[in-house]
Chains A and B, each alone.
Chain A
Amino acid sequence: MMKYKLLLSFSFFWCFLLFAQSLKAQEIEILLKGGHVIDPKNEIDAPMDVAVSGNTILRVAEHIPEESARRVIDVTGLFVTPGLIDMHAHVFHGTQPGPYIANSFRSMPPDAFTFRTGVTTIVDAGSSGWRTFKQLKDQTIDHSRTRVLAFISIVGEGMQGYLHPQNLNDMDPVLTAYRINEYPDIIVGVKKHHYRGPDFTPVERAVEAGNLAGVPVMVDFGGHEPPLSLETLLMEKLRPGDILTHTYYSSPRRQGGVDENGQVRPFIFDAQERGIIFDIGHGAGGFQWPQAIPAMEQGFWPNVISTDLHNLSMNGGMKDMNNVMSKFLNIGMSLSDVVERTTWNPAQALQREDLGHLSEGAVADIAVFNMREGDFGFMDARRTAIRGTRKLETVLTLLDGDIMWDLNGIAAPMWGE
């Protein structure tokens, strides 16, 4: 009997613990109070509070009471958005001598550039191929706090220099699709890059792999001898949902979207209409004011804003995600349009609709920005500048509900108190 009583009281205690646990699960751990929320997916662009519980968004609403939260962070005067997605970067850092992009010093460790600019998800743009992807995963992805997704190159070796991508024998759609299916949570698409031949073969192979695996293709176009038609690529070769990167780039061997007279080529609008995604991919060469400014004026806007981060772009005109976003703020794009192109648009393009928004239950990846006013300058990849008056600054970044960046200690208690 004694034993039975003990058992009974123990099970009561156990039920109480479970109950307490469930209460705790509903508790607001972090409340971002007083900010202006921009969440394009949910069409929110208004003063709102954001409550985080565990690693998810609990609620986005006006006036969530402070008493209900364990920790309140005052974000008055600041903008609160979903954590940014940088859809084009090179993060396959490593130690291969004579490096290009894959497993090299030219690629960047993600955490050095992400959280300080509000980025919570970074996408490697094909630095690895089906043969080298596992090394990217071992070396970078598994040891980064940043969420890392990846396009894999249609070239099995990935981006190993200028000769490898000429080798049509190393572009296997079936093996590429196998690798993608093996890591569906990480690999989001196929990349085609730096092929110089006079034909669309690598694009066709990439699209074939994309069809087999059900993922989009990202194309870095140009450099063909003789040049190939951009119109054919966009209107015939690529599928709706496929991505052209380095949108505002033009060279003798890569037709720009804006022609020599500063006019957007008509087929560009048709291509955007049929669902081609135009990605910025700023980089050290892929962004030119003479393309960007007329294009913006004539209504040819990018779908996605991204950095093409690597060690040649990081200290030049590109710098970081906030700098690239601020460029668009200063050439006629609204803040909510900029945020859409760095959150919900890339999430959709990557078929990762779990990311890029602040819906209840979504993962708590959140960025908080300050809009600085003043006299600023912004350089393109060729180091010519525009002047501007507004610049974004990342004040706070949350990944999975954890504070990963706090520029001014707004989440920190005062010392000596």
Chain B
Amino acid sequence: MNRKLSRSGKTGVSDKALHGRPFFMTLFLMGMLTVQLSAQPYDLLIKGGHVIDPKNRINEPMDIAVNDGVVAKVSADIPATDAAKVVDATGHFVAPGFIDMHAHVFFGSTPRNFADGSYSVAPDNFSFRAGVTTVVDAGDSGWRNFPVFKEQVIDPSRTRVLVFLNIVGHGLRGDPYNNNFSDMDVEKTLSMIQQYPDIIVGSRIGHIRQNYWEPFEKAMEVAQLADMPMLLECNLPELELEKTLASMRPGDIFAHAHQTGRRSLMDDQQNRIYDFVNEAREKGIIFDVSHGGTSFRFSQAIAAIEQGFYPDTFGTDLHFNSRNSGMKNMLNVMSKFLNMGMSLEDVILRATWNAATALKREDLGHLSEGAVADIAVFKINHGNFGFVDVRGYRMDGDRKLVAELTLREGRIVWDLNGLAAPLWNE
């Protein structure tokens, strides 16, 4: 860039121009030119990548310019000289930063606990290296301990953390707290949600082991009053599935889409999706993968896909137990679906725009000009790979996603191979 400028400077200064007014005129014009050129309009340019931005229906080679933490321009050819820093993304895919719809991140020091405990994980440990820029906590906190969660994890994390607030005041603190009906306070839960509308995205119910509708109804009441989705997490096994789905509104979220047993969405004997599940889906209920340590089986997922039942979003259900088993991380979950026959664009859609709309956070999950510059630059490795489900069964595949570069609000927060780094001896 500087080299180019000095070269044009040389040719621009003619002998004639060195005399009299034209000389100063030329100097003035050159000065203007210099100001304009050196004040490059963009901080960062991701050049030569293949952009997949399902919201904007882009699936083709595009350059992306970032400035001041937002997407400044998406266009087929943005000149390299327009940016202070250029990343050559040739051979890479460029997508909106991924949204993990289901994780447990109220990390703390209480042993054997999700709320403020060691069963949860710290978001930054897993997010950026998997292209994830937003994680959604699935109800570890309730109105009582959300402020602790915020101070302890959400504020010091660089990952954007959104939260479903548990209808239980103590959050996901294990028994007997989970089943304490007197700690399910609609008013207090709602008031906490209204206090933090930028962080809390809905109410959450789960881990209840009794045949009462009261907790469900309370969580639903909160969601209705807040005009937000309700997340139904694992195990309301005592409640009838058909009635549960019928009681959910369009936009409410059903976690653990590929589970077996009483919560299975299909007739396990015949591997057939129940009609009432397809109806629920048509009605607009969101089905999230929520892989976790117990909730993803190839036998279920593959049968579902064969019947045209694709999950809407790819929550990982990241926690102490899933991180080192079949789940591993967001990209591993996404790669499973890629190898089960889902197109790359459909995979990206579920990891970005689908999640954003489900969360009613339409500011996220796309690369529109002006949107926050949360960006995932990734590659597809080709080779022989294996993927494991929660029962310990393997499916082989030939493609795997790798996060090369992750931007959060325009800043590089992960750079696997030094794509954006200068060489050490240059």
Chain A residues in the interface with B (C-beta under 8 A): 93-95, 97, 99, 103, 105, 108-109, 111-113, 115-116, 138-139, 142-143, 289-290, 293, 311, 314-315, 319, 375-380, 383-387, 404-410, 412-416
Contact = CB atoms under 8 A, between A and B. Distances in A.
Contact of A315 (B124, B387, B421, B423): B124
Contacts of A414: 393-396
B53 interface: no
Interface residues of B, number: 51
Contacts of B396: 414
Given A108-B125, A289-B424, A379-B421, 12 more contacts: A93-B122, A112-B126, A138-B111, A314-B124, A315-B129, A375-B417, A383-B421, A408-B384, A409-B394, A413-B392, A413-B393, A415-B394
Nearest to B152: A95
Contacts of A315: 124, 128-129, 413-414
B292 to A, nearest CB: 16
B385 interface: yes
Interface string B376-412: 0000000011111101111110000000000000000
A409 B109 contact: no
Given A412-B393, A414-B394, A414-B395, A379 B118 contact: no
A314 B298 CA distance: 32
A133 to B, nearest CB: 15
B393 A143 contact: no
A415 B298 contact: yes
Interface string B88-118: 0000000000000000000111011000101
B324 A409 contact: no
Nearest to A116: B324
Contacts of B326: 409
B419 interface: yes
B153 interface: yes
Given A109-B122, A293-B424, A414-B395, A95 B116 contact: yes
Nearest to A311: B124
Contact of B153 (A105, A378, A379, A408): A105
A377 B417 CA distance: 4
18 contacts: A95-B116, A97-B151, A109-B118, A111-B323, A115-B324, A142-B111, A290-B424, A315-B414, A383-B418, A409-B387, A409-B393, A412-B386, A412-B388, A412-B392, A413-B393, A414-B396, A415-B302, A416-B393
Contacts, number: 134
A367 to B, nearest CB: 14
Contacts of B324: 111, 115-116, 404-405
A378 B151 CA distance: 34
Contacts of B416: 319, 377
B80 interface: no
B286 interface: no
A93 B109 CA distance: 7
A115 B328 CA distance: 11
B395 A384 contact: no
B23 interface: no
Contact of A416 (B121, B298, B320, B385): B298
Contacts of A108: 122, 125
A8 B414 CA distance: 70
B389 A377 contact: no
A243 B415 CA distance: 31
Contacts of B308: none
B36 interface: no
B299 interface: yes
B317 to A, nearest CB: 15
A108 B133 CA distance: 19
Contacts of A112: 121-122, 125-126, 323
Contacts of B385: 408
B424 A386 contact: yes
Nearest to A93: B109
A416 B299 contact: yes
A87 to B, nearest CB: 21
A143 B111 contact: yes
B425 interface: yes
Contacts of A413: 392-394
Contact of B421 (A93, A95, A139, A377): A377
Contacts of B392: 412-413
A103 B152 CA distance: 12
A103 B424 CA distance: 35
Nearest to B301: A415
Contacts of B261: none
Contacts of B125: 108-109, 112-113, 311, 314
B176 interface: no
A138 B118 CA distance: 12
Contact of B299 (A109, A380, A405, A415): A415
A165 B107 CA distance: 28
B103 to A, nearest CB: 13
Contacts of B387: 408-409
A368 B117 CA distance: 31
Given A314-B125, A409-B394, A385 B118 contact: no
A379 B128 contact: no
Contact of A378 (B297, B298, B389, B418): B418
A416 B417 CA distance: 37
A175 B425 CA distance: 47
A410 B391 CA distance: 14
A111 B424 contact: no
Nearest to B413: A315
B152 A143 contact: no
Contacts of A143: 111-112, 118
Interface in B300-337: 302, 320, 323-324, 326, 328
B370 to A, nearest CB: 27
B156 interface: yes
A143 B126 CA distance: 20
A183 B387 CA distance: 41
Given A109-B118, A409-B394, A95 B298 contact: no
B128 A139 contact: no
B120 to A, nearest CB: 10
A288 to B, nearest CB: 8
B20 interface: no
Contacts of A311: 122, 124-125
A385 B395 contact: no
Interface in B356-386: 384-386
